[in-house]
Amino acid sequence: MNWITLLLILVSVCMSACAQILLKVGMTPSGNGPDATLMATALRVLLNPWVIGGLGLYFLGAVVWLSVLSRVEVSYAYPFVGLGFIATMILGTIFLGEHVGPIRVVGSLLIVSGIVLVARS
């Protein structure tokens, strides 16, 4: 794998992780009361700029991912998607103040270990 393909993989994964954060921000208390209708709630969500941004970023990340898939085998590229779990956890901690306990850290290290093994194969 060349450095351009690796860069495309990392860009796609980072875009997906950032999209998760935007979607979370967009879905955090949107002011819907228990009496809000499904249509009103759906409209409020779909018009939320954070949600629109998150969906747009997902779309762009998918376009980049298509470029990756045109260059390498899917069985080689897909394990790198696991980096998205790590990136999302880090971004959630930094931007959303989410707590990351020791079990999550150990699980994340296991994911990274697996990615390293796949990348070296």
CB 53 within 8 A of CB 22: yes
Name residue 111's amino acid: I
Token reading at 117: 């093994």
Average pLDDT, integer, range 20-28: 94
What radius of gyration, in Å, describes the C-alpha atoms of the chain? 17
Residue 52 has pLDDT above 60, yes or no: yes
Domain boundaries, the chain: 3-120
3-state class of 99 per DSSP? Answer: coil
Reference 8, options 74, 87, 92, 66; nearest CA is: 66
Token reading at 22: 């935007």
Categorize the per-residue pLDDT at 117 as very low, low, confident or very high, splitting at 50, 70 and 90.
Answer: confident
- Give the pLDDT score at 67: 97
